[in-house]
Chain A
């Protein structure tokens, strides 16, 4: 994404500021709506981050509230709920970055082995369907299928697992598995698009040469296709590391319940609850927790990008 923006950079003839403005002022006017939009909706909230350092009260406003320094962070890091949320966030995003990351690649490789193009296309169309289903509906489906007379509960019962409402089960891997499988179900086909297109660009000559030398399809899959799409895989991983730490947790707001907070509460849901749950509205603490998450996500993204670049792999910026 960002790499593309870089590629089209052409050396501009340097004009003086005055000439530039005389010639290009309409362009700057056209930029104005986006400038205002971004300024108000993306940059002004950064000023609001000051709330993390004060005992915010609605009546006194952002600049009138009492400054408390790092008290909110101290409260945050000494509170039990925060560490529970941090632990769950780390575990869930690690699962998404590993198993959840590998599945679409595997699916794309499987698709590349399909001989019949029409069959491949139909499979793809079906696999995209879940991507278009709203989060609210996906959660409703999960609730339905995992309820005490749901289809998956019944299937699991055949393997000797107890009949129960699985979403209400606070035992350790249950919620994590549900959330991970839900994400894979929704993103498998859609996530594979990038890899399928990368596989399509692998030169047919390579495959032909290998086939003539007697390489089987499986050998070619692992020795030709996979190495060829490696830069794409690394790039997607670099993006995923930061994103997975911050995005997608809003769905948990729809699925968790007080009895499963122990395994399902994440930084995002904790931040949300501190601010918007009935009666709570501890804005200072919530902002501190949100800020913490933002910083970690940005660090992860920049860090994984730097590591990837150092290792001579593709990088975003």
Chain B
């Protein structure tokens, strides 16, 4: 059975592949186009990949030789060493930053998901205020108060200098609620009606009947929030600039890279410290880069379905 299905799939694949080229006359121009296309693809892949590879190899290099090295680092310079990572794990600030990023990301993702899942449900029901509620949610996408007025609101809430300022603003947005609304709307109406007729409350219908059906979009939203939160730095720079205990990892990276030249001025510099900037970049970026290919289809789906990036 399995084999049969597999054979069928292969055959279909072949059909797709060869039908166009059978009716086509492969000309010289066509061949040139093929080569150019492949070259462009390789160039794009190379350019996308090589900067992080450069950082990875630099982080394993000998610090003293690396400082004077010019150009790309394709393999570790000198004897490869983990000195940079050792420094990283000895630096309590960075470790705290790592923990902060994890806490903020988890909290903001959970809160954001809860809000948009519930809101999407409310917007998807046929109520008289449906239009008003949708407009209320969407207007801020068109016009926003801006940097300073938002700061003033956060300040009067007493969140400046606290973790709340890093978690709550930006944990969700109007787009996510609209996306969830669309997801609920595409659930067959009969499912909803059956649950309601059986006497399930709105809350229970949402949680046990509708949400599982909308989880495809829900998980996509979670992935988006995780990436955005893990990579965020501006809120921390605005709201907790002086409280280093709350700094997320990204702010540490910024500071470490900026301050890196200073240590060279000491009499007998420890060149391992020069590597710490590369190590911290790897530590912050690698988790996402390793995970995203597994969710590639879902993430693509999100871009197509929601246009969240825009």
Chain A interface residues (CB < 8 Å from chain B): 1-2, 4-5, 8, 10, 12-15, 17, 20, 24, 26-28, 30-31, 33-35, 37-38, 40-49, 51, 62, 107, 110-111, 113-115, 117, 119-120, 122-130, 132-137, 139-141, 143-145, 149-151, 154-155, 185, 188-191, 193-194, 197, 207-208, 211-212, 214, 216-218, 236, 239-240, 243, 250, 253-254, 268, 271-272, 275-276, 283, 286-287, 290-291, 293-294, 298, 301-302
Q: Are A287 and B296 in contact (CB under 8 A)?
A: no
The answer to the question of B91 belonging to the interface, with a C-beta cut-off of 8 Å to chain A, is no
Contact with A along B133-169 (1 / 0, CB 8 A): 1101110101111111111110001000000000011
User: Given contacts A26-B202, A30-B119, are A62 and B288 in contact (CB under 8 A)?
Assistant: no
Contact A30 B115 (CB under 8 A): no
- The reply to whether B126 and A12 contact each other, CB–CB distance below 8 Å, is yes
User: Is B151's CB under 8 angstroms from A275's CB?
Assistant: yes
- How many chain B residues sit at the interface, stated as a range, is 35 or more
In the complex, chain B residues 241-255 whose Cβ is within 8 Å of any chain A Cβ = 241, 250-251, 253-254
Min Cβ gap B279→A in Å is 12
Chain B nearest CB, measured from A171 CB (Å): 23
Q: Which residues of A contact B142 (CB under 8 A)?
A: 298, 301-302
Contacts of B48 in A (CB 8 A): 126-130, 185, 188-189
Task: Report whether B147 and A286 are in contact in the complex, using a CB–CB cutoff of 8 Å.
Answer: yes
A137 engages B125 (CB within 8 Å): no
Report Cα–Cα, A193/B308, bound state, in Å. Answer: 12
Give the 7 A-B CB pairs with smallest separation, nearest first.
Answer: A45-B145, A48-B149, A290-B146, A134-B231, A45-B149, A126-B45, A34-B119
- CB neighbours (8 Å) of B33 from chain A are 113, 217-218
Q: Is the CB of A24 within 8 A of B152?
A: no
Main secondary structure of the interface of B (DSSP, over half): helix
Q: Is B107 in contact with chain A by the CB < 8 A criterion?
A: no
Contact present for A1 and B178 (CB under 8 Å): yes
Contact B238 A276 (CB under 8 A): yes
Residues of B within 8 A of A (CB): 17, 19-21, 23-25, 27, 29-30, 33-34, 37-38, 40-42, 44-45, 47-49, 51-52, 54-55, 68-72, 114-116, 118-119, 121-123, 125-130, 133-134, 136-138, 140, 142-153, 157, 168-169, 172, 174-175, 177-178, 181-182, 185, 201-203, 206, 227, 230-231, 233-234, 237-238, 241, 250-251, 253-254, 257, 277, 281, 284-285, 288-289, 292-293, 296, 299-300, 303-304, 306-307, 309-310
**Docked pose: A188 CA to B306 CA in angstroms:** 18
Q: Are A287 and B149 in contact, CB atoms less than 8 angstroms apart?
A: yes
Can you list 16 A-B contacts with CB-CB less than 8 angstroms, sorted by A residue number?
A: A1-B175, A1-B306, A4-B182, A27-B127, A30-B119, A33-B118, A34-B115, A34-B116, A40-B153, A126-B44, A134-B284, A137-B253, A240-B310, A271-B147, A291-B146, A302-B142
Residues of chain A contacted by B49 (CB below 8 angstroms):
126, 129
Cross-chain contact B145 with A42 (CB below 8 angstroms)? yes
Q: Is the CB of A132 within 8 A of B288?
A: yes
Chain A's nearest CB lies how many Å from the CB of B271? 16
Distance in angstroms between the alpha carbons of A243 and B142 in the assembled complex: 10
Given contacts A31-B119, A211-B24, A217-B30, contact A193 B304 (CB under 8 A): yes
Instruction: Specify the chain B residue showing the minimal Cβ separation from A6.
Output: B134
- Contacts A8-B185, A125-B293, A133-B285 given: A208-B146 contact, CB under 8 Å? no
Closest residue of B by beta carbon distance from A198: B304
